[in-house]
A and B are shown apart, each in its own frame.
Chain A
Amino acid sequence: MQTIAVIDYGMGNLHSVGKALEHVSSARVQITSDPQVIRDADRIVLPGVGAIRDCMAEMARHQLLDVIREVSNDRPFLGICVGMQALLDSSEENGGVDCLGLFPGRVRAFGPTLYQGEQHLKVPHMGWNTVEQRLPHPLWHNIADHTRFYFVHSYYVEADNSRQVAGSCQYGVEFAAALADGARFAVQFHPEKSHTHGLQLLQNFVAWDGRW
């Protein structure tokens, strides 16, 4: 039986991710902070909510930084929300935080003066927004272009390598809603909270061999 490790570094609600993965697969889902369990798993999910400084500090405290760098090279790896942002070089949040540097680029604040045309936009970007698919990736299998997913975030990913942007979203600015590189895939939205299409993406992740 294949195993999926959901990395637990003490931040927020991992129940939803775990339950959604169990809902779409027969894999053994382990919510864990044990580096060995993570190294032994067939697939890895890095979720995350909350402030990036705390997230990075907790990952370091659990000695997970090198483990994440290592396992995301050679097997299907999915970052979600702050678990995506942690993969960039750095984040503006909390006065500037160095991140894992697995995707070139940075995490920026939407800020208080965000407009779409004349309309002032609220922050956090909270709710269902459309994702434009930029790459024909296996994780988009059976998901129509411009499908709406559930977002909740105040910071967004500015990717340096446009060829890694698998999906983009508009909210005052255009930002990377999904990044792909080798076995790594990362999404800013919450597939575990995005109903049918979110579950389809998780099902695609479970079926994916890590190549594209």
Chain B
Amino acid sequence: MTLAKRIIPCLDVENGRVVKGVKFENIRDAGDPVEIARRYNEQGADEITFLDITATLEGRDTMLQTVERMASQVFIPLTVGGGVRTVNDIRNLLNAGADKVSINSAAVFTPEFVQEAAQHFGSQSIIVAIDAKQVSAVGEPPRWEIFTHGGRKPTGIDAIEWAKKMESFGAGEILLTSMDQDGMKNGFDLGVTRAVSEAVNIPVIASGGVGNLQHLADGILLGKADAVLAASIFHFGEYTIQEAKAYLASQGIVVR
């Protein structure tokens, strides 16, 4: 028997509601996060990820309450990300019931924060989120760079080197999002997914671009991802988690 590949529905939460847009535009309301998490839990989701895209302090408090409500009703692992900048942010989320937190921009600005977080809370609870974009021209050897601010600001940091560094700083897992693909429904960027997954010894979650079930299978079989994350294909009823799992199983992938 082997470890199952994971399917992780991702909820973008703003002011206590699940939203989903295409490249941060045309945001649609997809409902109450706890209700949606319960539905995915019943369907056999392996974990749930909440990304807090709220900008306001009131919104942050709402998020902690949402995590608390979720954790008392849904008994599978819960990851929360978005705006995690301090040890105190992490402590608040873990105390509210999150099992893992995802650190994104704060890791880029202060890499030592990841070290501090892993030492405090253990690597198993610290995910580093990487937003990568391909920066090499057609015909050049492929190269991906880290971007911040929702994919708008380049950092000059090589994505693969960065993933290795974050592993050495104690990250327990990498959440890798292709900013070229996010919201486009054309499938994961398999090149960067495979390059990062083969460069590190910690699990890699592929994210960004899922439009159909073959994309999920490709992320695992071709991208070598340990888990696949998707949002809109599940939120708007295109596919259930069960359908996704049945499809992956039909492709020879071990699922729960």
Interface on A for B, CB 8 Å cutoff? 12-13, 15-16, 19-20, 22-23, 49-51, 112, 116, 120-130, 132, 146, 148, 150-154, 170-171, 190, 192-195, 198-199
Contact = CB atoms under 8 A, between A and B. Distances in A.
Contact of A193 (B4, B77, B125, B256): B77
A129 B2 contact: yes
B181 interface: no
B221 interface: no
A148 B254 CA distance: 12
A129 B202 CA distance: 17
15 contacts: A12-B125, A13-B98, A49-B121, A49-B122, A50-B122, A122-B202, A122-B226, A124-B124, A128-B3, A128-B256, A129-B2, A148-B256, A193-B76, A195-B41, A195-B75
B76 A152 contact: no
B1 A170 contact: yes
Nearest to B95: A15
Interface string B120-159: 0111110000000000000000000000000000000000
A171 B121 CA distance: 24
Contacts of A16: 71, 75, 97, 99
A199 B94 CA distance: 20
Given A13-B94, A51-B122, A126 B75 contact: no
B1 A23 contact: no
B4 A49 contact: no
B185 to A, nearest CB: 26
Given A112-B201, A124-B202, A129-B3, 15 more contacts: A15-B95, A16-B71, A19-B71, A23-B75, A49-B125, A50-B121, A123-B201, A126-B124, A127-B3, A127-B226, A128-B46, A154-B124, A171-B3, A193-B77, A195-B76
A167 to B, nearest CB: 12
Contacts of A151: 3
A125 B2 CA distance: 11
B50 to A, nearest CB: 15
A126 B173 contact: yes
Nearest to A14: B95
A132 B1 CA distance: 10
Q: Which of B1, B96, B202 neighbours the largest number of chain A CB atoms within 10 Å of its CB? A: B1
Contacts of B98: 13
A152 B124 contact: yes
Interface string B1-39: 111111000000000000000000000000000000000
Nearest to A202: B75
A124 B1 contact: no
Nearest to B44: A195
A173 B10 CA distance: 32
A43 B4 CA distance: 33
Contacts of A154: 123-124
B72 interface: yes
Interface string B216-247: 00000000001100000000000000000000
Nearest to B226: A122
Interface in B193-216: 200-204
A123 B201 CA distance: 6
Contacts of A122: 200-204, 226
A150 B3 CA distance: 10
A92 B31 CA distance: 47
Contacts of A148: 4, 256
Interface in B148-181: 172-173
Contacts of A190: 77
Given A13-B94, A15-B96, A193-B75, A127 B201 contact: no
A82 to B, nearest CB: 8
A13 B97 contact: yes
Nearest to A117: B2
Contacts of B41: 195
B4 A128 contact: yes
